[in-house]
Chain A
Amino acid sequence: MLAPERNWWKPIGRIEKTWLTVALVWCIFLTIMMPLWYFMGKQNVPTESYRTTPKDYAATVNEFVAQYQVGEENGIPVVAAPPGSDVYLRASAWQWYPILQLEKGQEYRLHISSMDFQHGFSLQPVNINLQVLPGYDYVATITPTTSGEFTIVCNEYCFLGHHTMVGKMIVK
């Protein structure tokens, strides 16, 4: 709170220098971790995405469902596409469509887009979370490493029915 003399540019003391060095080394370590994991790690944020429109995307999803539907649950189709293929998920207020059936240990190109508001793809209890935007086709290349029934929760607020937006994914 006090006005110091004008020449406050004084050498930094020994203890401060020690801490500054330690802190800087830590910052450099934090910086290196991200590219390191990008090249070495198995869990990275998907970076593949394309422009789309709700209309085009909905048409693609319908085509996909018609081709690979294997069942139905509560009026929502269950869809099993062969491993390695493109699978499509549609988010809209307040539904995830369709129910995807995947195989454990196999790779899929999972497309996600929204028909209306922003939504949040939150796969539980795996706990993978991605943002879903209208107009963006977001492609996540995923390999399920556990099997069972998983819940897709919407975790981006999408107006009053937001909490009812719950979907399902099956891994066999």
Chain B
Amino acid sequence: MATLAPTTPWAKGAKDDYRDCPVTTLKVDMHAERLIIANAVMAVVTLTLGGIAALLIALTRWQAVHLLDATWFYRLLTLHGIDMLVAWMVFFEMAGLHFGSTVLLNARHAAPKLAWLGFIMMTVGGLMANVVVLFDPSSNVMFTAYVPLKAHPLFYLSYILFAVGALIAVITFFINIVVAKREGRFGGSLPLVVFGLMTAAILATYTLLEGAAAIVPAFLWSLGILPNLDPGIYRNFFWGFGHPAQQVNLAAMVAIWYALAQMTVGIRPVNEKFSRLAFILYLFFINLGSAHHLLVDPGLSFGWKAVNTSYAMYLAVLGSMMHAFSIPAAMEIALRAKGYRKGLFGWLRNGPWKEPGFSALVISMVMFGWIGGVTGVTIGTEQINMLVHNTLRLPGHFHATVVAGTTIAFMGFTYYVIPLIFRKELKLKKWAVWQPYVFGGGMLLVSLGMITSGLQGVARRNWDISFAGVVPGTVDLTLAIFGIGAIIAVIGGIMYVSIVLTSILTGPRLEASNLLLVAGTNNPLLESTTLTDHQMEDKQNQPKGSLVLVIAFLVWFAVYYLTNWWLLGRTWFIR
């Protein structure tokens, strides 16, 4: 039987600064609580900055509106990339790591000073990057800062500060786990959610080291200490950081998926071994993804590109496909065990659709897999990449993964962090019910608008495509879909920030009394401990509906993938 809080009792004494959580029955270390709050606040701050930039650049790319001038467009696009893809994600993940390595293990934060040092470095680095990009005209170099575009030295220094800060925070995660284990804070094995976060932390460690291999030489070069850098080698190292960083997001997101599924429907993982093996596949194979960005670069062989882009043999993709089944299957079993057994999808219809954690989870999984995953594998195919490289199909793909997938999952999770960690009542609950749908709907249009524009050859990172004068008239339509989607998504973003700010800035401190926010007073987290082996194996409860869903997914995957080969076969001969 799985347990929530096994437990070596905490000794009374000055060092043990903790509280008992009445909802989860877990102990919350106050150092960890403050660290989680600080990181979460910075995540929301950077999300807000990046969101303002998002609205303005989307309204510029929507050709009929074309809001900003070229310089401001490129400036804010640089800012948007840094604030969203790096700052918001990593701050939220650090909050997640502090949470996973202490609260979920019933343990104390063993290195709070070190963690604060990391946080301060990240904050200084993150804000410095914003200031440099906004005020230094030479630093409009995009988030990628491809050599030999030369930004201000402070630009590179801000990356280094942020990355080293993040690395320090990640190290405290490992310290916490070792200390928790040694002090016997938890019985049995690491919870699956923490196992997933551990995967993210291990990936983050070498990701940040590769980032150093790209950015530190660029920093020295911008100071004039190094004479020149090879642009091809810079690209390889930069993407050794840039791509695995997205896999850190992936692993953290999947961990949050398991957490949300447990908190909103009370799942018990169908098979711990199955889910953990899937995480281990990430660990071994996902770092090869750097090649995704170099598929049409000079200087590299077919063999190198094909092996790396496919994660050896699509084994990291296999990991994602395993999670894509195991999470809905666990949800199906848990809901069937509650009596929703009608037909293939009766369990799904009866899910708590008003509960933001549940809707965020479902929207995140569907958009990540059906749009983000399918397009990602397809454009990461060596030859097909020739049709896609640096067109809008690319941001179309990663807005489906990182925004419609990871960001929605993180947003959904935030609503539970507010009562449980901030200890404030969640305000604007009705908004919270709708927010995942609004944001998800907007991002759906953004992704589809970008992908369909890119299919027609529209370049990414381009202020005004009409200069080219070649794109067909339907581009106006697809760019309008993108622009309208962006407005809807920004409304969803404003709802999110309003809910968070209203909740944490108004009202008294209040101990949480209920886990679910709107869908009832029961506690799925504790209920999940009562799911017996018998219920899990009951014939009536078997996840047939989930199997149908994943098979349908595979059919769509095959259709999209093969259509792209067909498109490639129609173009000029090239070798």
Contact = CB atoms under 8 A, between A and B. Distances in A.
B200 interface: no
A42 to B, nearest CB: 5
Interface in B447-468: 456-457, 459-465, 467-468
B226 interface: no
Interface string B39-52: 00000000000000
Interface in B298-322: 298-302, 305-306, 310, 313-315, 317-318, 321-322
Contacts of B569: 41-43
B252 interface: no
A75 interface: no
Given A3-B6, A8-B189, A116-B148, A19 B325 contact: yes
A102 B571 CA distance: 16
Contacts, number: 295
B502 interface: no
Contacts of B114: none
A80 interface: no
A7 to B, nearest CB: 9
Interface string A129-172: 11111111110111111100011011111111111101000000
B interface, how many residues as a size bin? 35 or more
Contact of A3 (B2, B321, B565): B2
Nearest to B567: A127
B547 A45 contact: no
Contact of A166 (B2, B468, B525): B468
A57 to B, nearest CB: 12
Interface stretch (B117-125, B166-174, B267-275): B267-275
Q: Say which size band chain A's interface belongs to.
A: 35 or more
B155 interface: no
A59 interface: no
A46 B575 contact: yes
A45 B550 contact: no
Contacts of A150: 470
Given A6-B189, A34-B383, A136 B299 contact: yes
A67 B186 CA distance: 78
Contacts of A47: 300-302
Most buried by A among B148, B276, B543: B148
A132 B299 CA distance: 11
A13 B511 CA distance: 41
Contacts of B270: 13, 16
Contacts of B468: 124, 151, 153, 166
Nearest to B193: A1
Interface string B261-302: 011000011111110100000000000000000111111111
Contact of B572 (A45, A128, A137): A128
Interface stretch (B82-90, B203-211, B358-366, B388-396): B388-396
Contacts of A41: 383, 568-569
Interface in A24-43: 24, 26-28, 30-31, 33-35, 37-38, 41-43
A44 B302 contact: yes
Contacts of B572: 43, 123, 126, 128, 142-146
Contacts of B325: 16, 19
B7 to A, nearest CB: 10
B382 interface: yes
Contacts of B4: 1-3
Nearest to B228: A135
Q: Count chain B CB atoms within 10 A of each CB in A6, A132, A146, A162 and give the residue with the most.
A: A162
A101 interface: no
B522 interface: no
B463 to A, nearest CB: 5
Contact of B469 (A16, A120, A151): A151
Contact of B271 (A6, A12, A151): A12
B262 to A, nearest CB: 5
Nearest to A113: B298
A118 B148 CA distance: 7
B547 A15 contact: yes
A161 B294 CA distance: 24
B431 interface: no
Contact of B550 (A19, A107, A154): A19
A18 interface: yes
B91 to A, nearest CB: 22
Interface string A61-92: 00000000000000000000000000000000
A128 B460 contact: no
B528 A2 contact: yes
Given A151-B470, A156-B146, A24 B383 contact: no
Contacts of B147: 118
Given A135-B231, A166-B467, 5 more contacts: A43-B383, A118-B147, A125-B472, A143-B572, A159-B141
Interface of A: 1-6, 8-10, 12-13, 15-16, 18-20, 22-24, 26-28, 30-31, 33-35, 37-38, 41-47, 49, 107, 116-118, 120, 122-138, 140-146, 150-151, 153-164, 166
15 contacts: A1-B193, A5-B2, A27-B317, A28-B313, A34-B383, A49-B298, A128-B386, A129-B386, A133-B298, A136-B232, A142-B573, A142-B574, A154-B459, A155-B391, A166-B468
Interface of B: 1-4, 6, 70-71, 74, 104-105, 140-142, 146-149, 186-193, 230-232, 235, 258-259, 262-263, 268-274, 276, 294-302, 305-306, 310, 313-315, 317-318, 321-322, 325-326, 329, 377, 381-383, 385-391, 456-457, 459-465, 467-472, 525, 528-529, 542-544, 547, 550-551, 554, 557-558, 561, 565, 568-569, 571-575
When A and B form their complex, which 9 residue pairs have the shortest distance between CB atoms, in order from nearest?
A: A8-B272, A49-B298, A155-B459, A138-B298, A27-B314, A143-B573, A155-B390, A2-B2, A136-B298
